[in-house]
Amino acid sequence: MKPHSRGPAYPVDPLGLQEGWTEDLKRFAALVPQKLELEEFFSLEEPFRELLRSEVLRDLAKNALTRMVAAPDHTPYGGFSSTGLSLARCESWTMTLRFLRPGAEFPKTLQSTSEHCLLGVPAHTRAASCVEMRTWRQIAPHPVDVLRPGAGLASPEDVLVDSEHLLRVRAAEDLVCYVPSSQLRVVAVLTSSTVVPFQWQYDIESGEPTRIIAAYPDSSRIDVALRLLHTVADESSAAVVADLTKHPDHYVRWTAVRVLFALDKAAGTEALSEALLDPHPHVRAAAKDATESLVGAA
């Protein structure tokens, strides 16, 4: 599967991210071409396994903490939360640690990934030495931007992951969640660059797809901003909203059409007519339903 291109590639070492890298990690990075083809991503499995056996992830976490203490405004790439910390990044991969708290329950929804991932357990931690995971395969995820009822999930399979046995997660193919445990667990995740621009969300009980989520945060933020404009009815924003009816992401286009109709009926009616010919089937169907509703209300 070819990578999804969106904007310029990140530099290999933005803002000195490689500061504090151990020799083990430098050797790992040296094995990876700057322009790693995504089909080659899983060839990193054995080098990543070597990192898990070493103490490099502990040293990276210590380095990240040291930098945050020395510079309180420093934020690791990708941020950090109570459940994860980004440790290292190059143009074609990102490495993070995830902390799995005891007692967590199964989620109610599952979400596919927009990147390829390798998951393993660091050998040198006080946490559990292995992690049980439940995996699913998406039966028919392509095209990824068209949600289709019935395109569900294959039967789940439970697997054990440790520092020797890694789990491959393919973008737009596999889903995974962590089986609840009473122990604290730590998982190291090696992630590729973006492969597909959307993620599918599924109901964990039925295995049915429920919605599509943008892989890029900028599209999600635009969608939220549009909905806020609709709520506050800011007519002065109609021109900006009209431009977004041409946005590359279909769900942003349709939200823009709806908001534009609320702000400027004439411009919104024209955009609605154009949406009937939109290249995406979801937009065409929504525009058809909206047009029929308007006709029925007239």
Do 103 and 192 reside in the same domain of the chain?
yes
**What are residue 96's DSSP bridge partners?**
86, 189
Residue ending a domain, choose from 194, 214, 234 = 214
Do 22 and 96 reside in the same domain of the chain?
yes
pLDDT reported for residue 175: 93
pLDDT reported for residue 217: 61
Residue 99, domain member (yes or no): yes
Do 148 and 45 reside in the same domain of the chain?
yes
pLDDT reported for residue 14: 36
Do 21 and 165 reside in the same domain of the chain?
yes
Do 271 and 172 reside in the same domain of the chain?
no
Which 8-state DSSP code applies to residue 153?
B
pLDDT reported for residue 22: 65
Residue 4, domain member (yes or no): no
Match 């040291």 to its residue by tokens: 66
| Residue ranges in the chain whose pLDDT is less than 50 | 1-17, 74, 77-82
Residue ending a domain, choose from 214, 229, 251 = 214
Residue ending a domain, choose from 160, 182, 214 = 214
pLDDT reported for residue 117: 94
- Contact between residue 292 and residue 284 where contact means Cβ atoms under 8 Å apart: no
Whole-number Å distance between alpha carbons of 87 and 89: 7
Whole-number Å distance between alpha carbons of 118 and 228: 38
The pTM (predicted TM-score) of the whole model is: 0.71
Do 269 and 190 reside in the same domain of the chain?
no
- Contact between residue 131 and residue 182 where contact means Cβ atoms under 8 Å apart: no
Whole-number Å distance between alpha carbons of 175 and 154: 10
State which residues form the domain around 67. 14-214
Return the structure tokens found at 47: 């080098």
Residue 39, domain member (yes or no): yes
Do 160 and 271 reside in the same domain of the chain?
no
pLDDT reported for residue 176: 94
Match 């010919």 to its residue by tokens: 277
Whole-number Å distance between alpha carbons of 205 and 109: 8
Indicate which CATH number applies to the domain containing 182.
2.60.120.10
Whole-number Å distance between alpha carbons of 50 and 159: 21
- Per the structure, the count of domains in the chain is 2
